[in-house]
Amino acid sequence: MEQLIQLIIPVVLIALGYFAGTIAESRHYTSIKERENKFLNLPAVTIKNVLSKNAGIEKAELVYGSVVVSLDYFKRFLAALRNIVGGEVSSYETLIDRARREAILRMKEMAVGADIILNLRIETSSISQSANKRNAVGSIEVISYGTAVTLKK
């Protein structure tokens, strides 16, 4: 009986992680989509010199957005399995997608009144669970930055 309980507890924790993680991820994606729609009129481009030389620039300033996102236990479990057999780790892909989009949105929120964000750059780094574990991803940090330009009206 004890062996059965020892087997059931990890299965319950993994299932709980799956449901809680799925709900949290779904809510985050909903928030991201709503905020992206709000900022459709503020383009962020990777080009430095997209404006003409005649464009009257009223203000140019550095804007940035940073976010740290962690994997839930279920996705961590799936990633560990995928690392054994190899192949695409889709749980990390959604993690990076959410973090990248969130960082860009936070940057755009900082660019109040700007007409365009030029020279967009995105940096990604992983934060390990432990210094002793190689390739152990606990969370990832994404920072986006660029130059918010406000044109003279």
Q: How far apart are CA 139 and CA 95, in angstroms?
A: 9
Closest by CA position to 122, among listed 99, 138, 89, 94: 99
Domain boundaries in the chain?
Answer: 2-151
C-alpha 76 chain-centroid distance: 17
Of the given ranges (8-17, 29-38, 56-65, 105-114), which has the lowest mean pLDDT?
8-17
Closest by CA position to 67, among listed 39, 105, 120: 105
Band of the pLDDT at 136, cuts 50, 70, 90? low
Contact 95, 130 (CB under 8 A): no
Second CATH level (architecture) for the domain 2-151: 2-Layer Sandwich (3.30)
- Please state, for a pLDDT cut of 70, what percent of the chain lies above it: 88
C-alpha 142 chain-centroid distance: 6
Q: Per-residue pLDDT for 131 more than 60?
A: no
Q: How far apart are CA 111 and CA 105, in angstroms?
A: 10
Q: Return the pLDDT at 144.
A: 98
Q: How far apart are CA 81 and CA 148, in angstroms?
A: 43
pTM (predicted TM-score): 0.80
pLDDT, tens digit (0-9, with 9 covering 90-100), for 82-109: 777 777 777 778 888 999 999 999 999 9
Q: Return the pLDDT at 139.
A: 81
Closest by CA position to 67, among listed 41, 39, 96: 96
